Amino acid sequence: MKHRVGLAVALVTGLLSPCRTAAQPISQLAPADEYFGRARMSPLEITNRIRDAERRGPSYRGLLNTQAALEDWTRKYPRDPWIAPRKYRLWHLFARLHSHDGNAEAAHCRAFLRAYFSPNKYRR
């Protein structure tokens, strides 16, 4: 009988404890209500602007603002796993501009990924 009660308590305690992602502690993730860069973009807005540029086509000025916000996010939360995939997508958006400035910013994105993130599928 004691074993059953102990097992029940352990199960209920495990079910009621707060859930966290196994890969990253919460302190390494940027909060959704924090804003980055001069344009004051949240992580969700950064993601949405990248997605919109992928669908509609990139604009140099819009990408620069998004890049500045993403780099500010990186300075404040360097271990946030959401950053590298977004920077990788920005790299390709700058390259799609097919301009001298776009190519320079794409190279900056590549260098940034190499400097701040370990090799993974987002770094070539």
pTM of the entire predicted model: 0.73
Q: What are the pLDDT digits (tens) for 65-102?
A: 999 999 999 999 998 999 999 999 999 999 999 999 99
What would the 3-class secondary structure string for the chain be?
CHHHHHHHHHHHHHHHCCCCCCCCCHHHCCCCCCCECCCCECHHHHHHHHHHHHHHCCCHHHHHHHHHHHHHHHHHCCCCCCHHHHHHHHHHHHHHCCCHHHHHHHHHHHHHHHHHCCCCCCCC
Question: Which residue would you say has higher pLDDT here, 4 or 52?
Answer: 52
For 6-52, write each residue's pLDDT tens digit.
444 443 444 334 444 445 556 788 898 999 999 999 999 999 999 99
Q: Is the pLDDT of residue 122 over 60?
A: no
Q: Residue ranges per domain, the chain? A: 39-124
